[in-house]
Amino acid sequence: MTLLVWAGVLLIGGIGSVTRFLVDREVTRRAGRPFPLGTLTVNITGAALLGFLGGLALSKDAALLTGTAFVGAYTTFSTWMLETQRLGEERRKWAAATNLVVSVVLGLAAALLGQWIAGRI
């Protein structure tokens, strides 16, 4: 792997994490609810994008830059788990369970949809 590719990973990963922050913040602001809709939106759109990228015939470096660097920095498993745990701590068990189930079901559906769309191109 070249130095240029590593620099691309740093730059594109940074863009992905800033994009996550902006999308999460905007969705949360608009929703105005205590449910973590911002993180859900980020992870579902990230799953769709990763499914789409996985369905394309990308080179190794392009897959690294788009899938690992951007989507990996854009999506957030740890925040999803922390928010779910906090919902449980707040005794909002149904919200915590909903966050888990909806995230997994919609995430899988989004990844499959993204892959399906890529297969049609």
Residues that constitute the known binding site for Na(+): 72, 75
Q: H helices of 1-120, where?
A: 3-31, 37-55, 60-63, 72-74, 77-89, 93-119
Q: Which of 42, 31, 28 is nearest to 80 (CA)?
A: 42
The binding site consists of 72, 75
